Amino acid sequence: MSSSIPILSAKEIVRILKKMGFVKVSQKGSHAKYKNMLTHRICIVPMHVQVARGTLISILQQADIELQDFLNQLQ
């Protein structure tokens, strides 16, 4: 994994996903399901204090979001 991929909290990831049009549709235990109402893409976010880099990559793949687009929203 590249060190250019940050380790973020679930709160930070959710904040960016919401900016990109995702809304929370359900939660079971510590995993929340977010859906983009325009593209109907669904992603599962573990509500942990720190989300590993590989898990972040998986979330972005589920959501069909490019890493650079996601990182641009971080700033």
Structural domains of the chain in order of their starting residue, each with its CATH number:
10-74 (3.30.920.30)
pLDDT digits (tens, 9 = 90+) for 41-68: 999 999 999 999 999 999 999 999 999 9
Is 18 a residue whose pLDDT tops 50?
yes
Binned at pLDDT 50, 70 and 90, residue 74 comes out as: confident
| Helices assigned H by DSSP within the chain | 10-19, 53-63, 67-74
Q: How many helices (DSSP H) and strands (DSSP E) are in the chain?
A: 3, 3
Q: Which residue in the block uniquely carries the two structure tokens 């983009």?
A: 36
pTM above 0.85, yes or no: yes
Rounded CA separation 42/35 (Å): 4
